[in-house]
A and B are shown apart, each in its own frame.
Chain A
């Protein structure tokens, strides 16, 4: 049996990990938050791999510089506006 202090310790460790590694999930992660992370990770990966950003550039007939900038810009709100807090609690109730 884990003692209280152990549990606290584990919690603080997880918190530490979540703070350190952006994108680490947790038990209460909503679908929206998860999607945010996925999208931001994808955009960062596209920007980092020159072959990927060039590929998008060819398809969209844009300059690579422009595609890179647009991708970075989209990292602000990659999946649209977050859902209202109310809906969230309703969702949870449904579950």
Chain B
């Protein structure tokens, strides 16, 4: 088994975000780290955040900071990662890539305790940066500029301190004095030695200033002072000429201003009035807004409340510190204030958002706490309370979808579509949702209007070549043509000059702003002044096909006569230029657009009924000579020639490609030599059961192809690679590009007798999500949350609503839900649980049934099982009848670290009303731990309770225990069954293969794994093989060796004797690791699915960070060789951006085995052409072949 790992939808959660000007001075940009992806975002004119470039770094990004050298107007990026290196990056705007400026190794790799990279802080003047570890190590690098204004970096200076845990680091603003870095540190050395615990309770956090002496080139601990023990975050206060300098220390419940030789200024953080008294308020993210005269800080608490912090100061003395409630948005990992008055909020979980500032938070109504009004009582400082309220100072502009965290995922075709849908549970608490993912690009329907008949074709024409938007929509019917003008609304018009009494074959706006209509009887040339020139077809023949660009028109008559006209710039007339009898009926024609700077395009492509496509020369005097010909296996239906737009969209610098849609549904794409017209490098792909019709369109400013088969596809250029993606929409009959001011890049299409205007959203995303769903049963459980039934505030409100609107359900109404989404649910006590069971209809994605779980129980596992009915029940007992029931495992007052619960139960629910209702049959208390997994087994129930595997029979009043095995290592996490074999996954000790011996009524383990794995997901692949994912982000395929498997099957005791004499307390047989691969993100679920119709089955996984990926099994040796070699070369030629060695990243926990990293291979398309060439040569292929291989394998998967 050899797998190809490919990310389908990259992680959407954000680890941290930093604001800066990276591509150009004053460019408002945000760099976000998504764990292992570095992404540059920029808001467009409409305020939508758009990805400029996303780079997979094959490492774990732990911190990012922007650094700006004095006098520069661009920022560099400093990256702290697990590579044991400090990385300085610069953005190259022309190539649209990050360029590594410096990579300095300082120590070991990995996310370890003493390996710096956890914290990165920079001097505000860009003279130095500090990179720190969780414990002990800190390095300071001096940044400078050489004569050519390039960034230089010094060798590292150590600022280590053993036995010190660092909580936060920041670069202080002290003008042009020596750079100082501040850190919150905690010394643990004494606590380790003192058994009385006195030292531990005395342990004191310190605020330490490290001064980088630029003159002496050393770092000294300049000043250290005890600080509040709840301190967790440092914020630098503007200094020098702009403020008092110093730092704000954010601690639990307090914000404290501190500076050397300055008395501390402390203010309490206002707290929500409904917060339990023992809970603190912790600041988790901040943003500094720095202006010459006026600066303030926005800090966000763990509950999502944003406070505005201001300092009143005189000279360098701070008089007062004020904390004012500003607004509430969901908790963020980072917030960034853009200079244009926007706030980018990178949410911890769920969608990210861009807000606009609409208020300054100066309102007097809002609660404010001040250092001056600090009251100390006997119980400590007196708190200040407030109530969260809807947004006042911020206005939501745009949301960026994020699936983080995907807690579970199922791939199933519940809606009977061509391919299965992915159902993902994502988000958390009030922001949790069920999302349906479909491969393909999301399409928005902007308008649908009925037409009088069945149209055959549709075009759009501009009024003027330089116009931005289209002016007319031309719809052709079997015997007529309708023209619509586009304005405020779309309405029929007669003033266009088009002939309405004939069907139209083709339309074009020519270079001199005249319009052309091709109809079977001739050409109609409508001059800008509405004078009309007609050219009639000689004889009784008809035009069969036509093609044009802005200067040339080609038509083909019945019988195969091709005539080419050119627009004469002098007279403005269409002049016949060439004519040729081909002798074979022509099916389709195509002329590529005129290349920039030339007067005409030199090629004409002709598809004929003799199953060929030819390229003819349009050069004057060439007489339409054949340049090249390609034989096809079917009749071509449609042709399209496109220039492969290079980076940045526009320009005709790339190669010219000819796309041919064949009647058998295949699309062929060949490269056309731009000089000789030779066809080479053909690739084909099956698009659907209908002959693909090809149309040009505009996507992200570049030319793109729309291919209409049994489903629509969009071909576009993405980071140098041609991408063909299906659209999630019905089959279209005919389409054309469309631009208007509401929809700058859309399509107008005809389907049966309707005209539709469509737009494609988020080009580049492989999946689309519809947050709106046979039935899905979902279990929900929130720790430290208050059950709805116990929420007094809510009950009161619900009662109020009930009076107004009638009886409420268990759910709240939309308004309450929206508030809850903004504020988060009230915090409960640890060990308090709220949860429910919900049945969802996948078609409408609406809740069919919901029931809240009572008794403070948390749902820990769930399964649908066919259980034998007990005797005494109709159909039960000897009659052998069984019933399909929902089995739910719950734990009462569940607590973690260490896992513990007061009691645990297994509940049985009957699915009534076709599964639309759940009725509780009975509830059985089980002992021994948390029921971590459930599974049906031969009409009985297998339950993993703590470390115990039990077999239950269904009884009338409760479940009846039949058999037990209690020597599994820690906690059963999953149980799957195939025939007589039971695959038990342990939360810490990997997979155990077990059997049940009926005669002796006993379980025994016959095989286990050699390595500990903290399993999160298990998927059986076949009888001997299971795939598993673990908490640390590893994927593994385990297989029972064939001999062992045979032995177990043949053994009359079923391996029981052997099991009794296991090896070193383990099982007699050991599983082999067939595939090992580090995904780099916690895998939350594994599923098998075919992602395309008739495609191969692949393994789909989802991750905590919101990513979805697949592992595709190779089917032949040749591909394995090819991709392993390509991977090897790319490791050499394209080392990861964060400096981590690719091989060691993929082997972070277990050495990588039998798996090729498709994400790395895909980067081949984006590396410089010279390197592409070099690798291709080393592999005895051409660059084109290499890219084709990559495209092929991608096409096999999706």
A residues bordering B, Cβ < 8 Å? 19, 21-23, 33, 36, 40-41, 44-45, 47-52, 54-55, 57-66, 69, 72, 75-77, 81-85
Contacts and interface: CB of A to CB of B under 8 A. Distances in A.
Contacts of B783: 59-61
Nearest to B200: A77
Nearest to A64: B348
B1135 to A, nearest CB: 21
A64 B135 contact: no
Nearest to A71: B134
A65 B285 contact: yes
Interface in B1-41: 13, 15, 35
B118 A69 contact: no
B895 to A, nearest CB: 10
B196 interface: yes
Given A72-B165, A76-B191, A81-B196, 19 more contacts: A22-B135, A44-B113, A50-B15, A51-B1081, A51-B1103, A54-B348, A54-B1082, A54-B1105, A58-B349, A59-B783, A63-B302, A63-B348, A65-B333, A69-B232, A72-B232, A75-B165, A76-B165, A82-B195, A83-B195
B1031 A75 contact: no
Contacts of B203: 76
Contacts of B1082: 51-52, 54-55
A65 B331 contact: yes
B1174 interface: no
B785 interface: yes
B802 to A, nearest CB: 28
Interface string B57-85: 00010100000000000000000001000
B284 A64 contact: yes
B111 A58 contact: no
Contact of B188 (A23, A52, A76): A76
A69 B195 contact: no
11 contacts: A22-B162, A44-B111, A47-B134, A54-B349, A58-B407, A58-B428, A62-B302, A64-B331, A64-B333, A65-B284, A65-B331
B111 A45 contact: yes
Contact of A52 (B194, B348, B1032): B1032
B405 A58 contact: yes
What 6 pairs across the A-B complex have the smallest Cβ distances?
A65-B284, A48-B111, A63-B302, A44-B113, A50-B15, A61-B783
Contact of B200 (A51, A54, A81): A81
A69 B282 contact: yes
Contacts of A55: 405, 1031, 1082, 1104
Given A77-B200, A81-B195, A66 B282 contact: yes
Nearest to A59: B896
Contact of B135 (A44, A54, A58, A59): A44
Contacts of B405: 54-55, 58
Contacts of B15: 50
A20 B128 CA distance: 25
Contacts of B331: 63-65
B135 A60 contact: no
Contacts of A36: 192
A44 B405 CA distance: 21
B167 interface: yes
B200 A65 contact: no
A33 B407 CA distance: 36
B870 interface: no
Given A22-B113, A58-B407, A69-B232, A76 B196 contact: no
A36, A40, A48, A82 interface centre (most CB from chain B within 10 Å): A48
B183 interface: no
Given A55-B1082, A57-B348, A81-B196, A75 B188 contact: yes
B114 interface: yes
Among A45, A54, A60, the one with the most B-chain Cβ atoms within 10 Å of its Cβ is A54
A47 B134 CA distance: 9
Q: Provide the main secondary structure of the chain A interface.
A: helix
B136 interface: yes
Q: Which of B135, B186, B191 gathers the greatest number of chain A CB atoms within 10 Å? A: B135
Contacts of A52: 1031-1032, 1082
How many residues of B sit at the interface, in one of the four size bands? 35 or more
A82 B331 CA distance: 37
B972 interface: no
A59 B930 CA distance: 15
A2 to B, nearest CB: 29
Contacts of B194: 81-82
Interface string B285-312: 1000000000000000011000000000
B200 A76 contact: yes
- Interface majority SS (helix, strand, loop, mixed), chain B: loop
Contacts of A76: 165, 186, 188, 191, 200, 203
Q: Pick from A55, A59, A60, A61 the residue with the most CB of B within 10 Å.
A: A61
A85 B194 CA distance: 9
B150 interface: no
A49 B60 contact: yes
Given A51-B1103, A60-B784, A65 B112 contact: no
B193 interface: yes
Contact of A61 (B35, B82, B191, B784): B784
Given A57-B348, A58-B1104, A61-B429, A51 B284 contact: no
A22 to B, nearest CB: 5
B203 to A, nearest CB: 6
B954 interface: no
B595 interface: no
Given A52-B1032, A76-B203, A61 B113 contact: no
Interface string B259-293: 00000000000000000000000111100000000
Contacts of B1031: 52, 55
A7 to B, nearest CB: 26
A81 B198 CA distance: 10
A80 B792 CA distance: 39
Contacts of A57: 348-349
A47 B165 CA distance: 12
Contacts of A48: 60, 62, 82, 111-112, 117-118, 134
A92 B1031 CA distance: 37
A83 B782 CA distance: 37
Contacts of B282: 63, 65-66, 69
A41 B1031 CA distance: 16
A72 B348 contact: no
B404 interface: yes
Contacts of B113: 22-23, 40-41, 44-45
A81 B194 CA distance: 8
Interface string B1099-1122: 000011100000000000000000
Contacts of A54: 13, 348-349, 404-405, 1082, 1104-1105
A67 to B, nearest CB: 10
Contacts of B429: 61
Contacts of A84: 195
Contacts of B404: 54
Contacts of B245: none
B931 interface: no
A77 to B, nearest CB: 5
B1033 interface: yes
B1012 interface: no
B791 to A, nearest CB: 15
B268 to A, nearest CB: 18
A23 B113 CA distance: 9
Interface centre among B113, B117, B203, B783 (most CB of A within 10 A): B113
Contacts of A21: 114
A63 B285 CA distance: 11
B197 interface: yes
B35 A75 contact: no
A36 B189 CA distance: 12
B111 A49 contact: yes
Interface string B1069-1108: 0000000000011100000000000000000000111000
